[in-house]
Amino acid sequence: MAYYLEHVLVGNRIQLNEGVQVLGRHSQCTCIMKYDYMSRFHALVLVKHGKIFIKELDTNNGVFINYSPERIGTEWQELSVGDDLCFGVKINGEVAVEIPVTFGIFTVKAEELHSHHSLAVVDGSNVHHTGEPSSSP
């Protein structure tokens, strides 16, 4: 199973390889995401043994799952296919509002793994994935 994040409005995909990915605006992130309110180093995503986890890094604007008003914080949170992730923006999922395409709002998706992809393509940028840090759930 291969996990990826898909932007809810424009369909950009971020491939999530086995191991840890650093998500953020900085060029040293393994997945560069240049969206409004994203921090330079915003979150870590871990794919391990068929499961997917996320936690915030030292970010001002946080990560929100399924339009919850509460930030996820710096402890690992398990994700499921179909979860919506809001990076840096708190969106009320019950109120119809026009969401700018420049907001980092993604849905967790999965597909059968047919070939190994080592690039994440976001906002026209190719970003190589690197290795996995030792601290993980």
Residue-level pLDDT at 131 = 43
**Per-residue confidence in pLDDT tens, the chain, 137 aa:** 899 999 999 999 999 999 999 999 999 999 999 999 999 999 999 999 999 999 999 899 999 999 999 999 999 999 999 999 999 998 876 666 788 899 999 999 998 766 555 444 455 443 434 444 445 56
Supply the CATH classification number for the domain 2-117: 2.60.200.20
Q: Where are the domains of the chain?
A: 2-117
Which pLDDT does position 112 carry in this prediction?
A: 78
pLDDT at 134: 42
| pLDDT score for 58 | 85
Residue 33 pLDDT? 95
How many angstroms separate the CA atoms of 53 and 85, rounded? 12
Burial 63-92 (b: 16+ CB within 10 A, else e): bbbeeeeeebeeebbebeeebbbbbbbebe
